Amino acid sequence: MRTWRVLIAGFGTVGRGAAERLVAARSELAARGCDVRLVGVLDPAVGSVVCPQGLAPERLLSMVGQGARLTEYPGAEAVADLSDALDRIDVDVLFEATPTDLTNGGVGLEHVRAALAAGVHVATTNKGPIALRHAELAELARERGVQLRAEGTVMSGTPVLNLAEVGLAGAGVHSFRGVLNGTCNFMLSEMESGRSYAEALAEAQRLGYAETDPAGDVEGHDAAAKVVILANLVLGAELTLEDVRREGITGLDAGRLQDDAALGYRWRLVAEARREGERRHAAVAPVRLPSSDPLAALTGPGNLLVFETEALGSVSIAGPGAGRAATGHALVADLVAIHGGAGR
């Protein structure tokens, strides 16, 4: 049995989902020889604490559920930030689950850099650092002999990056296409069933799929970040967000979608990239698909990704693209991969 000392940065939906999954998966992880000790949680909204003897995830969840500050946890020590935490205690793995900032990476990028520099493995669900600075961070991880994992940045906990990294290793993946933004897919499904764009958006917001400011989803920024991450990690590209031809769903007319649906076509926000020799092409755009296309069959908030490979032809994976348990699971799966890669 190996004990991994984990620190969670960001204790909102994703961080709490990870804590819940650590509880739910405890015996399954133990059966793999993987024991987890949660040694710290950082979040300005609920309090930042460390405790080298370990914090019980159940108790942390119960405290935040009751509106208590984590600094009241018996025996825990308040800390100012990640640097302060890393100065005070030993950490093996950082779960980075702060909100995504696609402009400059924000605090998530600072966290990932600081952890890797300190020789700490990183599992992150934060698209910012990976979409903006993957090459630099991967190099830093290599130098320090630790892993940088980001399963939760694309399709939440649906294990697409692990699939590509190990299962498709050596298969010659040359392109991918998918539906990677569940909010847009839900809205398009609603629109082709008769709702207007405004009604579909309001329904997505009511159900918690879309933010109050939906621009990140409906203008394709979120999907573009995922294309960059997949292209760079899976196709070995070195793309930036500016390299992705991006068009959102805001210009689509619901009447047109309904007419096309009657003719057997479905509009989907398709995210794709392709390697052609040394060239890489990447795009996010609404595409009119025949109903026989697997992407057309996907309705609602789910995600679907199809890899095109030399050895296997098409391999597709479908699953949730968001959700507390699903995204929390991504961090646990990354931990299992780190555990496996360390040699058992």
The reply to whether 172 sits near its own copies by the rule CB under 8 A is: yes
Query: Which residue's CB is nearer to its own copies, number 51 or number 331?
Result: 331
**Segment contacting its own copies (CB under 8 A): 43-51, 77-85, 130-138, 168-176?**
168-176
The reply to whether 337 sits near its own copies by the rule CB under 8 A is: yes
Q: Which of 3, 62, 193, 314 binds its own copies (CB under 8 A)?
A: 314
Q: Which of 12, 13, 24, 69 binds its own copies (CB under 8 A)?
A: 24
How far apart CA 126 and CA 8 sit, in angstroms, is: 12
For residue 88 the two structure tokens come to 């005070």
Query: Which residue's CB is nearer to its own copies, number 20 or number 85?
Result: 20
Q: What is the amino acid identity at position 286?
A: P
Q: Which residues contact 63 (CB under 8 A, 6 or more apart)?
A: 69, 70, 72, 73
Catalytic-role residue among 121, 226, 266, 280: 226
- Least Å distance, CB 219 to its own copies, is 27
Q: Which of 12, 54, 106, 319 binds its own copies (CB under 8 A)?
A: 319
The reply to whether 44 sits near its own copies by the rule CB under 8 A is: no
The reply to whether 157 sits near its own copies by the rule CB under 8 A is: yes
How far apart CA 7 and CA 70 sit, in angstroms, is: 14
* Burial (CB count <10 Å: 0-12, 13-18, 19+), residue 136: middle
| Helix H or strand E segment including 2 | strand 2-9
For residue 292 the two structure tokens come to 């026989």
Q: What is the amino acid identity at position 13?
A: T
127 is catalytic: no
Query: Which residue's CB is nearer to its own copies, number 70 or number 141?
Result: 141
How far apart CA 336 and CA 57 sit, in angstroms, is: 18
CA distances from 29 to 26, 112, 113, 176 (A): 5, 24, 27, 32
The reply to whether 33 sits near its own copies by the rule CB under 8 A is: no
For CA atoms 308, 312, 313, 314, give the dihedral sign. Answer: negative
Query: Which residue's CB is nearer to its own copies, number 30 or number 56?
Result: 30
The reply to whether 93 sits near its own copies by the rule CB under 8 A is: no
**Segment contacting its own copies (CB under 8 A): 1-9, 151-159, 265-273, 282-290?**
151-159
Query: Which residue's CB is nearer to its own copies, number 201 or number 270?
Result: 270
The reply to whether 344 sits near its own copies by the rule CB under 8 A is: yes
With CB under 8 A as the rule, give the number of residues binding its own copies.
Answer: 46
Give backbone dihedrals phi and psi of 42, rounded to 5 degrees, phi first.
-120, 125
* Whether the Cβ atoms of residue 22 and residue 334 lie closer than 8 Å to each other: no
For residue 244 the two structure tokens come to 């992705």
Strands 93-96 and 121-124 come out as: parallel
- Least Å distance, CB 292 to its own copies, is 9
Q: Within a 10 A sphere around the Cβ of 150, how many other Cβ atoms?
A: 24
Q: Which of 10, 40, 159, 182 binds its own copies (CB under 8 A)?
A: 159
How far apart CA 182 and CA 207 sit, in angstroms, is: 12
**SS3 call for 4:** strand
| Helix H or strand E segment including 143 | helix 127-144
The reply to whether 340 sits near its own copies by the rule CB under 8 A is: yes
The reply to whether 189 sits near its own copies by the rule CB under 8 A is: no
Per-residue interface string for the shown chain with its own copies, residues 250-289, x marking contact by CB under 8 A: ----------------------------------------
How far apart CA 330 and CA 124 sit, in angstroms, is: 8
- Least Å distance, CB 56 to its own copies, is 18
Catalytic residue set: 226
The contact set with its own copies (CB under 8 A) reads 21, 24-25, 28-29, 32, 151, 156-159, 162-163, 166-172, 294, 297, 310-320, 325-326, 328-329, 332-333, 336-337, 340-344
